[in-house]
């Protein structure tokens, strides 16, 4: 948290915005890659010789894993978009206020937002790891 105190609020806003955009792009690329792999494996399954039962079972398992991965990525993307919207909303509300905030007030608001992001990330990681443990069982 000490490092946050040394960052200007404008700079912090830019950093958060850029990180949200970068993470969004990363998730979009991963989503497209997973979708492509899913379609490729589905097409392979449709054209495989019925006599190759072990290969069919393997493809079905891989398709299910890709489907689960795609759903997880979609959920992560939706959560990130929600976080981005909340960030924009907070910024617009603060910019509409005619109150004079001290640097300390703005830093405290930044800390609260960062704490929310940390809690959000920890909860999401916990839930996604719990889901993966459930799949393994």
At 15-48, the pLDDT tens digits run 888 888 889 999 999 999 999 999 999 999 999 8
pLDDT digits (tens, 9 = 90+) for 111-125: 777 666 655 555 555
Q: How confident is the model at residue 65 (pLDDT cuts 50, 70, 90)?
A: very high
Q: What is the rounded CA–CA span in Å between residue 120 and residue 134?
A: 21
CB crowding 112-131: b at 16 or more within 10 Å, else e: ebeeebeeeeeeeeeeeeee
The domain total for the chain is 1
137 pLDDT exceeds 50?
A: no
Residue 51 structural domain? 2-136
0.85 cut: is pTM over it? no
């Amino acid at each position: 948290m000490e490092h946050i105190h040394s960052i200007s609020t404008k700079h912090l806003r830019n950093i958060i915005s850029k990180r949200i955009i970068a993470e969004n792009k990363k998730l979009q690329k991963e989503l497209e890659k997973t979708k492509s792999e899913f379609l490729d494996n589905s097409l392979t399954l449709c054209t495989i010789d019925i006599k190759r039962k072990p290969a069919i079972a393997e493809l079905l398992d891989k398709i299910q894993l890709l489907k689960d991965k795609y759903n997880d990525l979609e959920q992560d993307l939706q959560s990130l978009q929600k976080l981005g919207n909340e960030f924009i909303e907070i910024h617009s509300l603060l910019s509409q206020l005619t109150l004079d905030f001290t640097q300390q007030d703005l830093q405290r608001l930044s800390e609260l937002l960062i704490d929310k992001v940390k809690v959000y990330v920890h909860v999401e990681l916990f839930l996604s790891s719990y889901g993966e443990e459930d799949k393994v069982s």
